[in-house]
Amino acid sequence: MTAKIVIVGSFNTDLTSYMERMPRPGETVSGRKFVTGPGGKGSNQAVAAARLGADVTFIGRVGQDVFGDLALKTWEQEGINTRYVVRDPEHATGVAPIFVDDTGENSIVVVLGANLNIQAADVDAAADLIAQADIVLTQLEINYDMVAYALQAAKRRGVKTILNPAPAGHLPAEVVALADFITPNETELEVLSGKSGLTAEQAARSLLTHDGQTVVVTLGAQGAQYVRQDATGVIPTFKVNVVDTTGAGDAFNGGLAVALAEGKPLTEAIAFANATAALCVTRPGTAPSMPCRDEVEALLASAK
């Protein structure tokens, strides 16, 4: 059965410069290459999920500008349902200037524009699809009241939710409580929990408010750690040649959403998400670097 995933999230046009090393404050360095491409955490996760075989609906806003055209073209090419995307008449499409150095590390500025103007009516318009979804997935590059609204809309209809709290931000505990799966990296975990100096497990545990919840902390090259009230464990990832880590978290979330929506057990779903992210970092860019299903299955099979 095809997994049905609804994403309430962001699109940004990524403006990526590749360079030997990042500039220090006040310094100018020469870059090797500049690429404009589709990005934004929500959209990257949608592209990942679609390439992995899911039926994906995107709810979000882009401007009435060329970057908005790029968003629509990308989603149409990937077979993503764009019926609930609004072309905002007053706000520009989000953009993200990105620096990537020779080790594959990145630093990103987001100017979120139309992403911050998603309205409750945009989510309400897709109520029927939300009710039929296996998973509703959201992130923190949209207005936070809409993060809460999307999670509530899903929970009211008995639909499982994933909250990817990226980029790092504070959310009220009652909003975090609406997520069945919370997927921070270590920095995002520290900010979301408001606790520093704890192990990932301790900080993750502090977010849990009920039995049904799972925190999955992404640990980069170490894989990912899941924490539930009754269990924890680390699922190691794959050793790969890292070219560009940008979008790795998005690949992980897209992969996790598909695997959970397909009913895979948690540890298997995390291994699937790890494989998706591992393949993503072997290529430059964000949305364009998302792997397809066959590649993920092949990497998983190679580890058996």
Chain residues binding ligand RIB by CB under 6 A are 12, 14, 39-41, 44, 96, 108, 110, 141, 246-247, 249-250, 286
Peptide bond into 25 cis (omega under 30): no
CA separation for the pair 144, 9 (Å, rounded): 11
Q: Which is nearer to ligand RIB, 77 or 202 (CB)?
A: 77
| Active-site residue identified among 124, 128, 250, 294 | 250
How many other CB atoms are there within 10 angstroms of residue 65's CB atom? 17
* Greatest CA separation for the chain: 54
The one-character DSSP state at 24 is P
Q: Which residue intervals of the chain are DSSP H helices?
A: 41-51, 66-78, 120-124, 127-132, 144-156, 173-176, 186-193, 200-207, 248-261, 266-280, 293-302
Q: State the DSSP string of 214-266.
A: EEEEE-GGG-EEEEETTEEEEE-------S--TTHHHHHHHHHHHHHHTT--H
By C-beta, is 130 or 257 nearer to ligand RIB? 257
Q: How far is the CB of 132 from ligand RIB (least distance, A)?
A: 28
| Residue 250 annotated to the active site | yes
Task: Give the shortest CB-154-to-ligand RIB separation in angstroms.
Answer: 22
> In angstroms, what is the minimal distance from the CB of 109 to ligand RIB?
9
Q: At closest approach, how far in Å is the CB of 39 from ligand RIB?
A: 3
Q: Which is nearer to ligand RIB, 96 or 154 (CB)?
A: 96
CB of 75 to ligand RIB, least distance (A): 14
Q: Which is nearer to ligand RIB, 22 or 108 (by Cβ)?
A: 108
How many helices (H) and strands (E) in the chain? 11, 13
Identify whether the C-beta of residue 127 lies closer than 8 Å to the C-beta of residue 12: no
CA dihedral 167, 146, 74, 223 (to 10 degrees): 40
> Which CB, 11 or 272, lies closer to ligand RIB?
11
The set of catalytic residues is 250
